[in-house]
Structure 1
Amino acid sequence: MARKLRRAAGLLLATQLSFSGKACGQTFIDVAAEAGVFHDSAAPNSPTAPTFAQVQAGGAAVADYDGDGWVDLFVTRTSARDVLYRNLGDGTFLDVTDSAFGAAMSDVASTGAAWADIDNDGDRDLVVATLGDQRHRLYVNDGAGGFTEQGLARGLIIDDGQAATTGTSVSWGDYDRDGYLDLYVASWGGFTATATSSQARLFRNRGAAGPGQFVDVTASAGVAMDLSSGFHAGQDLSFTSKFADFDRDGWPDLAVLSDAKTSRLFWNRGDGTFDDGTVAAGVATGTNDMGLAVGDVNGDGLVDWFATSIGFELNRHPSGNRLFLNQGDRTFLDATDATGVREGGWGWAADFFDFDNDGDLDLAQANGMTIGTSSQADAVFFRNDGDPKRPHFVEVAAELGLAAQEQGRGLLTFDYDRDGD
């Protein structure tokens, strides 16, 4: 039998698995067309070539936005309106962008997206990072299947005097533990323009004083990203962020992955501020970090860290992927080569999940770039064949049917048909 794969304009979505009785019989098949998930990532026949930032873009987010018990799908695009697919519960999806958003959804270039209940009213709202606009977008759910755009009114403002937004990804986490989700937006400004400051931002939810209203606390919280130095001096190059309690002290920490050796790990002090612990933690070894996946890879109860990057086979500022095992003392052990995950092409998004239900975490990775041989790039899939306490991965994308010679950027996993996998 087969686990089903969605691939739409560079977006890889691993979704459904039906068991054959043996792990070796599990494969992926592309069901995008029959499920009704099909679109171009950019407008066809666009008169202008995409920017490099747009070439790198590719985002998606899933949530049950309408409360019917089925997980729905939102996909970002760079020169056309984003798309909301409503899950019909029969293995198919319906494009409901017009009815759900109306005029609130414009065709601004967008990148990352994430759902969250920002005001604790019981339904999922949506934040979308933008490129080349004046602000990011925040779509508030009206509880009846519709959304209004309220980013400006609710404080998602980047007031730094720079011309336009350079968002890449968004992540939610309650870093101050007040019961309301806060927001981090990463930012990649490009290799040609010189930024005056990073546009990466931490927005604190005002909580009970203003549910779903946000305040920029980047500087006061101590999480302002360094602009890169050396060859790329003065540039703002972060891609991916995640909140996770890496040190098990009960407070969500913040990891931000970035180009040009500017990735950061911020330890949460529990008082609304963070300390930069990147170097001491041992995770400052990447040259160009892009995607981040977190999970307990070796079953010790600690959150481990996987970073995608550019592989050595491409010979373009390579460092390869890296897997860091959490040691429980605010340090990480580089287990990349011991676990077999170094080479993954030109890596982007990644996600841990147990695709074969054998009790350990496997790893999917998007791959590709419009440069050289990486323009024809397979997805990467690392199957965990190791002992649960001693992970070891084998790259099996071709074996699983994922060698489609298409570029990927964003990636997520979800159970769209509620069959348990």
Structure 2
Amino acid sequence: MSARALIGCSVACASLFAAQEIPTKRLQPASPHATAGVTYRDVTNLAGLSSFKHVSGTPEKNYIIEATGSGVALWDFDNDGLVDIYLVNGSTIDRLQRGDPAPAAALFRNNGNGTFTDVTIERGVANERWGQGVCVGDFDNDGFEDLFVTNFGKNRLYRNDGGRRFTDIAETAHVADDSWSTGCAFGDYDGDGWLDLFVAGYVSLDLKHLPPPANPEAAGPANTSSEPNRASPESGSRMGASYSPGASRCTYRSERVMCGPRGLKGAPDHLYRNNRDGTFTDVSGEAGVADRNGLYGFGVAWFDMDDDGRLDLFVANDSGPNYLYRNLGSGRFEDVSYPSGAALDAQGREQAHMGVAVGDYDNDGRDDLHVTNFANDFNVLYHNDDGRSFSDVTAPLGLTLPTMPFLGWGTDFVDYDNDGWLDLLVVNGHVYPAADRLAWNTSYAQRALLFRNLAGKRFEDLGAAAGEVLATPRASRGSAVGDIDNDGGIDIVINNLDDRPTLARNDGGAKGGHWLTIALKGDPARRCPRDAIGSVVFVTAGGVRRRAEVASGRGQMSQSDLRVHFGLGAETTVPNLQVRWANGPTVTYKMDRIDAIVTIDQASGAVTKGTTR
């Protein structure tokens, strides 16, 4: 579709916007294309996760740090074959100004019977800083996944000491940047078999010189304005409130709200190269990914956009163009954001980007990108055309109008019914509490969206068919997907702002179609990281070749299960399974089982049932 056609579509979208659903008031009926017997059920309480409650500032959300929320990680920290859960927590301005510890994050160990045990303190991963994002990767190739937590303040790198205890080595590893970091992801960009680390920066926010608050009664000496009656100019309803120095207030649609991010100074991004000795070196400048424009980074994704065997890098930027860096293979990257078409939408507009999902939604063999955006705008699906260029296909695939009333955060491609086509999850929630009392055609708490993929041609909101757990409005932020109970159905965990988390169990997914889940064990001697991050698995069944990458980070500051999952639909055999090992060759393996979890070991070539490390 041409840019002109899409501009015309945007006019139509604007005229139809008033007819769209208000997220808390109306739920679309169950999609006629929903797979019978497959839905999601809320098992948060049954699983024992309700002891955790996220904390983030005051109910008024006076400052932008109070609204961004936190991520969640699904990972097997103790190598028992069961997916555990790590929930990042926030804090309050008062705590920070007093120097008090922040509320603790939570590590829940999977008991294997549908319940979890909080082992945060005994494992040593409470964080107790204003947490933002999380990603995992085995940076020291010892066979145990390590944990990186981004903060408003110093970041933490928790080294996994045999699954029994974690040690924060961020300072000695030189990755404890004292800033406001958000998304992160491990990836071996230089092909030496050791995971490097990229960390996005958001806003350089000084607690001693805060911008004006949303509630004027919260203003103190740090918020005083030289021009008490001047408001910052508005950015329009598609982005948050802008700030200009000296202004006494910031407004969004004429309502006084918190300021930013526009007008505030951006925090830098960082690429850390793994020195193979437990330390990292910041190579952002020499590698060409230093965020010279000072944008507001959120979601981060390593992926091989052109299938040249080298990891490329995507950064979703809030209130600005995205970054897409092509890996040149010499330790440097080329900024292809604009020529690739991934910087802006089809109309050439900057958007307020949040989370990013990567996946081959149309099974054409190339990874596509989905990026969430602010309310009164639509999320964007970028189709990977040829490995070098991307097209905004949001409108023709039916994703424009259904997403406009929502403010999107976490997003994941997930084959919820195992039919062999990647469906699309988006979790939502506004940043301005005023949305509940003003005629903005939206709400503060919002339901999640689960779109069923109709054979790569169109996406359809499942509505009530997704289950009450996803239909319940919340102020959601980070989300992650993975098979919590190893039954073949992909489950969802959501970290909700100022609330309990959500564990949405997939009931019936294993009956919707056949499936195969694969864990990879790389061989560092062959320059593949031990956890095989960056490797790509190709499964051919029924004449369709599907792909999935072992990936760190992604979503909205979150981490999904490192195991790759394939829905197979009605197919009962896998004639061809190939692994393109990170920094190595593509190897074909015999697969004589389906509806199973298997581990493939690069060093031995063994294919075994279950997850082994």
In 1, are the aligned partners of 2:85 and 2:107 still within 8 Å (CA)? yes
Letter aligned with residue 274 of structure 1: F
In 2, are the aligned partners of 1:295 and 1:304 still within 8 Å (CA)? yes
The question of 1:356 aligning with 2:417 is answered yes
Residues 239-292 of structure 1 show CA distances to partners (whole Å, capped at 9, x for unaligned) of 111000001111000000001223100000001110100111111224111110
Shift of 1:70: 0.9
The question of 1:380 aligning with 2:380 is answered no
Q: Which residue of 2 aligns with 1:186?
A: 200
Q: Which residue of 2 aligns with 1:10?
A: none
Over the matched positions of the two proteins, sequence identity in percent amounts to: 36
Letter aligned with residue 124 of structure 1: E
Letter aligned with residue 310 of structure 2: W
In structure 2, what is the Cα distance between the partners aligned to 1:219 and 1:192? 24
Shift of 1:50: 6.9
In 2, are the aligned partners of 1:177 and 1:251 still within 8 Å (CA)? yes
The question of 1:52 aligning with 2:79 is answered no
Shift of 1:176: 0.7
TM-score by length of 1: 0.84
Q: Which residue of 1 aligns with 2:309?
A: 250
In structure 2, what is the Cα distance between the partners aligned to 1:139 and 1:405? 34
The question of 1:204 aligning with 2:257 is answered no
In structure 2, what is the Cα distance between the partners aligned to 1:28 and 1:48? 32
Q: Which residue of 2 aligns with 1:407?
A: 475
In structure 1, what is the Cα distance between the partners aligned to 2:355 and 2:155? 21
Shift of 1:106: 4.0
In 1, are the aligned partners of 2:307 and 2:387 still within 8 Å (CA)? no
Q: Report the secondary structure of 1:410's partner residue.
A: strand
Q: Which residue of 2 aligns with 1:291?
A: 355
Counterpart selection for 1:170 from 161, 179, 184? 184
The question of 1:276 aligning with 2:299 is answered no
Residues 357-385 of structure 1 show CA distances to partners (whole Å, capped at 9, x for unaligned) of 11100000111113213302111111112
Q: Which residue of 2 aligns with 1:18?
A: none
52-61 vs 293-302, greater mean Cα deviation: 52-61
Shift of 1:396: 1.5
TM-score by length of 2: 0.58
| Residues 193, 399 of structure 1: alpha-carbon distance in 2 compared, 3 angstrom cutoff | closer
Gaps of 5+ in 1: 1-21, 159-163, 229-235, 313-317
Q: Which residue of 2 aligns with 1:238?
A: 297
Number of aligned residues: 371
Residues 198-229 of structure 1 show CA distances to partners (whole Å, capped at 9, x for unaligned) of 3211111113xx2x32111111100011435x
Q: Which residue of 2 aligns with 1:338?
A: 396
Letter aligned with residue 90 of structure 1: N
In structure 1, what is the Cα distance between the partners aligned to 2:317 and 2:284? 17
The question of 1:40 aligning with 2:22 is answered no
In 2, are the aligned partners of 1:168 and 1:186 still within 8 Å (CA)? yes
Residues 37-72 of structure 1 show CA distances to partners (whole Å, capped at 9, x for unaligned) of 1211118x9799674223212201121111211111
In structure 2, what is the Cα distance between the partners aligned to 1:120 and 1:29? 37
| Residues 264, 82 of structure 1: alpha-carbon distance in 2 compared, 3 angstrom cutoff | same
Q: Which residue of 1 aligns with 2:135?
A: 114
| Residues 200, 356 of structure 1: alpha-carbon distance in 2 compared, 3 angstrom cutoff | same
In 2, are the aligned partners of 1:379 and 1:397 still within 8 Å (CA)? no
In 1, are the aligned partners of 2:180 and 2:267 still within 8 Å (CA)? no
In structure 2, what is the Cα distance between the partners aligned to 1:333 and 1:42? 39
| Residues 72, 271 of structure 1: alpha-carbon distance in 2 compared, 3 angstrom cutoff | same
In structure 2, what is the Cα distance between the partners aligned to 1:326 and 1:89? 39
In structure 1, what is the Cα distance between the partners aligned to 2:201 and 2:486? 34
The structure with more radius of gyration: 2
| Residues 145, 82 of structure 1: alpha-carbon distance in 2 compared, 3 angstrom cutoff | same
In structure 1, what is the Cα distance between the partners aligned to 2:163 and 2:381? 43
In structure 1, what is the Cα distance between the partners aligned to 2:164 and 2:463? 38
Q: Report the secondary structure of 1:34's partner residue.
A: helix
Q: Which residue of 2 aligns with 1:153?
A: 172
In structure 1, what is the Cα distance between the partners aligned to 2:390 and 2:120? 43
The question of 1:88 aligning with 2:111 is answered yes
In structure 2, what is the Cα distance between the partners aligned to 1:377 and 1:196? 29
In structure 2, what is the Cα distance between the partners aligned to 1:412 and 1:384? 19
In structure 2, what is the Cα distance between the partners aligned to 1:49 and 1:338? 36
Counterpart selection for 1:369 from 430, 439, 448? 430
Q: Which residue of 2 aligns with 1:233?
A: none
Letter aligned with residue 337 of structure 1: A
| Residues 187, 54 of structure 1: alpha-carbon distance in 2 compared, 3 angstrom cutoff | farther
In structure 2, what is the Cα distance between the partners aligned to 1:46 and 1:332? 40
Residues 74-111 of structure 1 show CA distances to partners (whole Å, capped at 9, x for unaligned) of 1100021110000011111000001110xx63421101
In 2, are the aligned partners of 1:59 and 1:111 still within 8 Å (CA)? yes
In 1, are the aligned partners of 2:182 and 2:298 still within 8 Å (CA)? yes
Letter aligned with residue 167 of structure 1: S
Gaps of 5+ in 2: 1-33, 92-102, 206-259, 345-349, 436-441, 490-613
329-338 vs 147-156, greater mean Cα deviation: 329-338
Shift of 1:399: 2.6
Shift of 1:329: 4.3
Q: Report the secondary structure of 1:337's partner residue.
A: coil
| Residues 205, 54 of structure 1: alpha-carbon distance in 2 compared, 3 angstrom cutoff | farther
Letter aligned with residue 386 of structure 2: G
In structure 2, what is the Cα distance between the partners aligned to 1:197 and 1:261? 11
Q: Which residue of 2 aligns with 1:308?
A: 372
In 2, are the aligned partners of 1:311 and 1:321 still within 8 Å (CA)? no
Residues 128-174 of structure 1 show CA distances to partners (whole Å, capped at 9, x for unaligned) of 0001x2x210111111411111100111043xxxxx52111111111
Shift of 1:197: 6.3
In structure 1, what is the Cα distance between the partners aligned to 2:388 and 2:61? 45
Q: Which has the higher contact order (CA 8 A, sep 6+)?
A: 2
In 1, are the aligned partners of 2:341 and 2:391 still within 8 Å (CA)? yes
Quote the RMSD (CA, aligned, Å): 2.1
Counterpart selection for 1:126 from 133, 147, 152? 147
